[in-house]
Amino acid sequence: MAMVYLRDADVIEERPTLNDLLDGLNELETIALMRHLVDRDPSLILEIESYLRYNGKLPTRPVKPQTSAPIEIEVKPFRDRVKQIVRNGLYEVESEYCEEDPVETELIEILDEAQGYIDRDESKTALKVLEAITQSYVDEVDDLHDYGIDSEDFLQILDRTWTEALLSAYGRSRPLFNDVAETRSG
C-alpha cells in the first residue's frame, strides 16, 4: 500500500474513518446496522456476545414464571391450509391461469402467523405450527416440482423462521435475523 501511495497517490481513495461513519448514526440506526451485519455474517453474534460479556453488559434472560399449563394449539388447520393452497396453485397452473408461483405469497402469509407466536414469546407454539406447515409442504412438494414451482423465497423464510423459533425457544436471544419481516414484505 505504501509503495502505491508513493508512486501514485491519486489512485488511493480517501475514505471516512469508522468513527466518522458511526458518529453520523443515532442509536436506532446503529442497532439496525449491527443487525444487518449479523444477518450477513451470523458469526458476528459471537463477537458481539464476547464483547458484551467482557464489558459486563451481556443481558441476562429474565426467568419467566411458570404459567399453569401451556396452551395447546390445534395444528390441523395449518396443515389443511397448506394443502389447500398447494391444490389451488396446482389448479391454476394446470388451467394456465398464472405465470408466477401461485402458492408462494399465501404460504408466506401462513409463516407470518408462526412469526406472530415467536414475537409473543410463544416459541414452542410456533415450533408446533412450523412443524405442521413444513410437514404438509413436504407432503405436497413433489407435485409442485412436477410443475416447476420451487417457492424459493418461501423456503428461505421458512428456514429463518424455524431458526428464530428454535433459538428463541431454547435460550438464545432474539432477533437473529432482522430482515425476516423485510423479506416477507419486499
Same domain flag for 103 and 50: no
Q: H or E segment at 134? A: helix 123-146
**pLDDT tier at 181 (50, 70, 90 boundaries)?**
very low
Domain carrying residue 159: 76-185
In a domain, 88, yes or no: yes
Torsion of Cα atoms, 1 then 25 then 50 then 119, to 10°: -140
The answer to whether 136 and 83 are in contact (CB under 8 A) is: yes
Same domain flag for 82 and 168: yes
pLDDT for the residue numbered 44? 78
pLDDT in tens, 125-170: 999 999 999 999 999 888 888 888 888 899 999 999 999 999 988 8
Residue 3 has pLDDT above 70, yes or no: no
pLDDT in tens, 67-91: 545 567 889 999 999 999 999 888 8
Q: What is the C-alpha separation between 106 and 37, in angstroms, rounded?
A: 29
In a domain, 60, yes or no: no
Same domain flag for 33 and 80: no
Same domain flag for 163 and 113: yes
